[in-house]
């Protein structure tokens, strides 16, 4: 479904409950950005891209950092609503828990644009509760990893440890769904265990250490992000094995550190999840104010990094 600010205006007052608020055309805007955490390079790059674009346009950006706490992010969104920002950009740490504050913003007349992580339609509806979602296709990301893996198994039976991201986050749910669906079509390859390491490097290292002991038959680590993969590389080395050779490592994100590890042969394959949201996010805000229509999602196009392409891609990796 396509919708625009003008539709919202025609349909009723900007504060009508249960409707998308409109946005007037202004030379500058007061914009809120509620970030999930800032302790990894992906989040740092996303925040920098948002701040840089706001600065370039001369918009006033209020930034909050939930520091990995869903409860804090709920409070952060409420503080941005109280500040009466014109538009709210939100990267929801979890989907269900953030849905109520998305609706609170909407009822306060503030259009919300979801960035990078979405909220399932059973909890918040695009076009009614928020304008649109901008981000990667996480199901496709997981599927791309599985496809590359089975095509590069070299006759080996793959026993996979899957390191999941934050429980309840849409990239976790969808990266698992996409990977598992593709893999299920290629028996006898199988996932021996799948557990959350919360998108964290340290937790990725600790969990890999435990799981390698418990599942000595494991020969692949599929991590839902680079941070956990980098932690897994450290754990594999600590166990006296060669990451990328004895145990294949695959991940999603495409930060410089992971791409360098592909070049070093310690990570085998990375699907990019581009964190540079600023230009598209602010373009969408301005388009909406001009009356442009938007569908449920705007999907980012992502590259991948193989041993053959990592060198060429390194300089433009985040
Ligand atoms: O939502 C995107 C994910 O969140 C990235 O893959 C991860 O690194 C980040 O924390």
pLDDT confidence of residue 13:
37
Strand ranges of the sheet holding 87-90, from the earlier edge strand across to the other edge: 60-65, 30-35, 87-90, 112-115, 132-135, 297-299
Enumerate the β-bridge partners of residue 231.
none
Nearest to 113 by CA among 127, 133, 96: 133
Confidence at residue 101, expressed as pLDDT on a 0 to 100 scale:
98
Ranges in the chain, pLDDT < 70:
1-18
Residue 47 burial (C-beta neighbours within 10 Å; 0-12, 13-18, 19+): buried
So what's the pLDDT on residue 8? 43
Cα–Cα distance for residue pair 296/317, rounded to 1 Å: 28
HEC-encoded secondary structure of 4-25 = CHHHHHHHCCCCCCCCCCCCCC
pLDDT at residue 5 in the model = 54
Provide CATH 3.40.50.2300 ranges for the chain.
14-135+275-301, 138-273
Q: Where are the alpha helices (H) located in 21-90, listed in sequence order?
A: 41-57, 70-82
Rounded to a whole number, what is the distance in angstroms from the first to the last CA of the chain?
33
42 CB under 6 A from ligand 1?
yes
Partners of 29 in the β-ladder: none
Q: What is the pLDDT of residue 136?
A: 97
Supply the pLDDT for residue 19: 86
What integer pLDDT is reported at residue 12 of this predicted model?
A: 34
CA 277 to centroid of ligand 1, rounded, Å: 13
Residue closest via CA to ligand 1's atom 6 equals 225
Q: What is the pLDDT of residue 18?
A: 64
- Please state the CATH superfamily assignment of the domain spanning residues 138-273 in this structure: Response regulator (3.40.50.2300)
pTM higher than 0.95: no
What's the CATH code, domain 14-135+275-301?
Answer: 3.40.50.2300
pLDDT of residue 83: 98
User: Of all atoms in ligand 1, which is nearest to the CA of residue 169?
Assistant: 1
Whose C-alpha lies nearest to ligand 1, atom 7? 225
For residue 225 and ligand 1, the question of a CB distance below 6 A is answered with: yes
């Amino acid at each position: 479904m396509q919708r625009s600010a003008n539709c919202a205006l025609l349909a009723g007052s900007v504060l009508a409950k249960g409707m998308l608020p409109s946005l007037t055309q202004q030379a500058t805007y007061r914009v809120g950005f509620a970030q999930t955490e800032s302790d990894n390079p992906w989040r740092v790059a996303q925040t920098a891209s948002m701040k840089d674009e706001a600065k370039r346009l001369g918009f006033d950006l209020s930034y909050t950092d939930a520091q990995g706490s869903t409860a804090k992010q709920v409070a952060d969104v409420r503080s941005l609503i109280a500040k009466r920002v014109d538009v709210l950009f939100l990267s929801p740490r979890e989907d269900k828990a953030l849905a109520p504050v998305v609706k609170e913003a909407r009822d306060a007349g503030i259009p919300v644009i979801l960035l990078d992580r979405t909220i399932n339609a059973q909890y918040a509806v695009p076009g009614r509760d928020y304008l649109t979602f901008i981000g990667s296709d996480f199901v496709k990301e997981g599927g791309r990893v599985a496809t590359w893996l089975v095509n590069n198994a070299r006759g080996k039976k793959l026993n996979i440890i899957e390191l999941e991201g934050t429980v309840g986050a849409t990239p976790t749910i969808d990266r698992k769904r996409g990977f598992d669906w593709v893999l299920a079509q290629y028996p006898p390859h199988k996932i021996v265990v799948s557990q959350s390491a919360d998108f964290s490097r340290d937790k990725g290292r600790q969990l890999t250490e435990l799981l390698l002991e418990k599942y000595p038959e494991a020969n692949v680590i599929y991590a839902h992000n680079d941070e956990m993969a980098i932690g897994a590389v450290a754990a594999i080395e600590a166990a006296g094995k060669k990451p990328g050779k004895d145990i294949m490592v695959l991940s999603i994100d495409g930060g410089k550190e992971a791409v360098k590890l592909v070049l070093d042969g310690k990570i085998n394959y990375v699907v990019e999840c581009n964190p540079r949201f600023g230009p598209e996010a602010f373009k969408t805000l301005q388009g909406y104010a001009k009356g442009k229509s938007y569908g449920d999602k705007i999907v980012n196009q992502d590259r991948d990094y193989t041993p053959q392409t990592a060198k060429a891609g390194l300089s433009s990796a985040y």
